[in-house]
Chains A and B, each alone.
Chain A
Amino acid sequence: MEEVKVRIDKKTGKMSFDANGFVGEGCSVIEEIEMQLGTVTKHEDKDERYQYEIPVPASQGIMG
């Protein structure tokens, strides 16, 4: 059972989504709803979303 809680702020009119503890981006249900509402029209996955470590090249010194 998927459950989504939506809160609409009366002062700003903004909506926030909570799907089984997932808040905001990173949950397919929320993405599906945002696409349906038209608040998001395209998702682009980036490494950061999955918290992959991007290897940082080690500096190489020349030993003389």
Chain B
Amino acid sequence: MSHKTEIKTQLNNGHYLKQALTKLGFTFKEGQNLTTRGNYGVHENVDILVEGNGTQNFNSAIGFKKQKDGTYTAVGDFYGLRTQDGRSVSANMLKCEVTAHSKEAELNERLQNLGFVNDPANRKENSDFIEVTFSRSNTGM
């Protein structure tokens, strides 16, 4: 039985997407000729193939495919996949988490270019949001 799910994301930068996957503990590989397999045979060509999350082997069930408009779509068979803390991995949850962490990665890089320093002690995260604090030692407001 097939459980194919496909969900569009706003992400258009593979560099930050990969940083987000790493931060979330996923292992993945990228390249050409990558295809999802999954436990129920959902075969989709992808640009980034998610292999697992450190504690669970995803059996190459899911991945990210770059669309013509430059954005990435998460695709594959999410059935039975679990996070490291035991929650089930849905397509929407993956989209939300990867999008937020990808934006945080972009924010870190771009604000460092403006001379801001990230304060990890003030970072907050829950199921709804990520809050990051940056500071810079000059004035100009």
Contacts and interface: CB of A to CB of B under 8 A. Distances in A.
Interface of A: 1-11, 13, 15, 19-20, 22, 27-29, 32-33, 36-37
Q: Ordered nearest first, which 8 A-B pairs have the shortest CB separation?
A: A13-B99, A10-B96, A10-B100, A8-B130, A2-B136, A3-B135, A7-B131, A8-B100
B: interface residue count bin: 20 to 34
A37 B110 contact: yes
B138 interface: yes
A32 B139 CA distance: 13
B140 interface: yes
A32 to B, nearest CB: 6
Contacts of A4: 111, 116, 133-136
Contacts of B40: none
A4 B107 CA distance: 12
B4 interface: no
Interface in B59-108: 96-97, 99-100, 103-104, 106-107
Nearest to A2: B136
Contact of B114 (A7, A22, A27, A33): A33
Contacts of A28: 140-141
B96 A32 contact: no
Contacts of A9: 100, 128-129
Contact of A36 (B10, B96, B114, B131): B114
B132 interface: yes
A3 B134 CA distance: 6
A44 B35 CA distance: 48
Given A6-B133, A36-B111, 17 more contacts: A2-B138, A3-B134, A3-B135, A5-B131, A5-B133, A6-B131, A8-B104, A9-B129, A10-B100, A13-B10, A13-B96, A13-B99, A13-B103, A19-B141, A20-B141, A22-B141, A37-B110
